[in-house]
Amino acid sequence: MLMSHFEEPKVTEDEEPPTEQDKRKKMLALKDPVHTVSLQQFVYEKLKAQQELLGEQAFQALMETVDTEIVTQLQEFLQGF
């Protein structure tokens, strides 16, 4: 789930408004890469960078050492990228 903007939660009469600490935590969470970076995009970019660094043949040799089920899952995960 990617968080894209800061929204004040709606407060009902039974609830207390968010404290400054709550607001600070929310702002920190919005800056956290876990919430702002697509995992698919991150994995794709890291694999592409490794491929460019090693060259096509060395990268393929490296990928051949990875378990075939992991490679299949990676391909499915990155489908459409």
Predicted confidence at residue 78, as pLDDT, reads: 96
In the numeric block, which tokens belong to residue 76?
């499915």
Structure tokens at 17: 């408004």
To the nearest whole number, what is the mean pLDDT of the chain?
87
- What is the distance between the terminal CA atoms of the chain, rounded to a whole angstrom? 18
| Number of domains present in the structure of the chain | 1
Structure confidence by residue, pLDDT tens digits, 2-35: 555 555 556 566 788 899 999 999 998 888 888 8
Asked if residue 19 is part of any domain, the answer here is: no
Residue 3 lies in a domain: no
Mean pLDDT of 52-68: 97
User: What is the per-residue pLDDT for 38?
Assistant: 92
Q: Cβ(41)–Cβ(2) under 8 Å? A: no
Whether residue 43 contacts residue 78, with contact meaning beta carbons closer than 8 Å, is answered with yes
- Residue 23 inside a domain? The answer is no
Judge if pTM exceeds 0.85. no
Say if 55 falls within a structural domain. Answer: yes
How far CA 13 is from CA of 16, 48, 70, in Å, comes to: 8, 52, 51
Whether residue 54 is contained in a domain is answered as yes
Range of the domain at 54: 39-78
